[in-house]
Structure 1
Amino acid sequence: MTELASPTVKVSTRPAETRRDIGIKRRYAAERRFRAYGITAITLGLLFLAILISTVVSNGYTAFLQTTITLPIEFTEKVIDPKNERATDPKTLMTANYPVLVRNALVKQLGLDPTKRPLLKQATDMISPSARMQLRNMVVADPSLIGQTVPVTMLAEANIDSAFKGQIDLSVDEGRRRVKDQQVAWMNQLADAGVLKKSFNTGIFTFGASSRPEAAGVGVALVGSLYMMLIVLVLALPIGVAASIYLEEFAPKNRLTDLIEVNINNLAAVPSIVYGLLGLAVFINFAGMPRSAALVGGFVLTLMTLPTIIIATRAALKAVPPSIRSAALGLGASRMQTIFHHVLPLAMPGILTGTIIGLAHALGETAPLLLIGMVAFVVDFPGSPLEPSTALPVQIYMWANEPERAFVERTSGAIIILLIFLVFMNLGAILLRRRFERRW
Structure 2
Amino acid sequence: MTNSIKSSTDNTQMNDSIQQKSTVTITEKVTKSLKKRHRKEKRFKIVGLLAVLFGFMLVLTLITDITAKAIPAFHQHWVKIDVDYKSAWLNIDDTAAATQLTNQMQTANYRKVLRNSIYQMFSTGAEKKLTRQDKRQLTKLFSTNAEFTIKDKLIAKPNYINKKIELWVKLDDDVDSYLKEDFPLGEAGLRVSKKQAEWIAKLSTEQRIDSRFNLSFFTASDSREPELAGIKGALTGTLLTMFVTLLLSFPLGVAGAIYLEEFAPKNRWTDIIEININNLAAVPSIVFGLLGLAVIINMFELPRSAPLVGGIVLTLMTLPTIIIASRAAIKAVPPSLREAALGLGASKMQVTFSHVLPQAMPGIITGGIIGIAQALGETAPLLMIGMVAFIVDVPTSILDSATVLPVQIFLWADSPERAFLAKTSAAILVLLTLLLVINITATVLRSKFEKK
Per the TM superposition, whether the score is higher than 0.5 is yes
Counterpart position of 2:109: 97
Counterpart position of 1:411: 424
Counterpart position of 1:402: 415
How many angstroms does 1:136 deviate by? 3.7
Cα deviation digits, residues 358-410 of structure 1 (max 9, x gap): 22221111111111121111111123222221110000000111111111111
Which of 188, 209, 214 is the aligned partner of 1:201?
Answer: 214
2:374 is equivalent to residue 361 of structure 1: yes
Whole-Å Cα distance in 2 between the matches of residues 89 and 359 of structure 1? Answer: 54
2:436 is equivalent to residue 423 of structure 1: yes
Contact 1:131–1:154 under 8 Å retained in 2: yes
Letter in structure 2 aligned against 1:23: S
Counterpart position of 2:190: 177
Map of 1:272-283 to 2, 5 A cutoff? 272-283=285-296
Q: 1:189 to 1:372 in 2, by over 3 A?
A: same
Letter in structure 2 aligned against 1:359: I
Counterpart position of 1:127: 142
Whole-Å Cα distance in 2 between the matches of residues 146 and 302 of structure 1? Answer: 56
Whole-Å Cα distance in 2 between the matches of residues 19 and 43 of structure 1? Answer: 36
Which of 159, 175, 179 is the aligned partner of 1:164?
Answer: 179
How many angstroms does 1:107 deviate by? 4.2
How many angstroms does 1:121 deviate by? 3.1
Map of 1:142-157 to 2, 5 A cutoff? 146-147=161-162, 149-157=164-172
Contact 1:231–1:298 under 8 Å retained in 2: yes
Cα deviation digits, residues 110-160 of structure 1 (max 9, x gap): 564574144333332221112223334555677665445554332111111
Map of 1:286-297 to 2, 5 A cutoff? 286-297=299-310
Whole-Å Cα distance in 2 between the matches of residues 155 and 198 of structure 1? Answer: 10
Q: Identity rate of aligned residues, in percent?
A: 46
Counterpart position of 2:84: 74
Which of 130, 137, 140 is the aligned partner of 1:116?
Answer: 130
Letter in structure 2 aligned against 1:123: L
Q: 1:25 to 1:325 in 2, by over 3 A?
A: closer
How many positions carry a matched residue from both structures?
Answer: 425
Choose 1 or 2 for highest CA Rg.
2
Partner SS, residue 382 of structure 1: coil
Contact 2:254–2:326 under 8 Å retained in 1: yes
Contact 2:185–2:201 under 8 Å retained in 1: no
2:309 is equivalent to residue 321 of structure 1: no
Q: TM-score, normalised by structure 1?
A: 0.86
Map of 1:276-355 to 2, 5 A cutoff? 276-355=289-368
Letter in structure 2 aligned against 1:268: A
Structure 2 unaligned residues grouped into runs of 5+: 1-21
Counterpart position of 2:118: 106
Whole-Å Cα distance in 1 between the matches of residues 84 and 158 of structure 2? Answer: 13
With 80-89 and 245-254 compared, the bigger mean Cα shift is at 80-89
Structure 1 unaligned residues grouped into runs of 5+: 1-11
Partner SS, residue 168 of structure 2: strand
2:448 is equivalent to residue 435 of structure 1: yes
With 139-148 and 340-349 compared, the bigger mean Cα shift is at 139-148
Cα deviation digits, residues 203-254 of structure 1 (max 9, x gap): 1112222111111111110111111011111111221122122112211111
Cα deviation digits, residues 1-29 of structure 1 (max 9, x gap): xxxxxxxxxxx9x9444433443333233
Q: TM-score, normalised by structure 2?
A: 0.84
Cα deviation digits, residues 336-374 of structure 1 (max 9, x gap): 233333333333333333223322221111111111121
Counterpart position of 1:212: 225
Partner SS, residue 286 of structure 1: coil
Counterpart position of 1:4: none
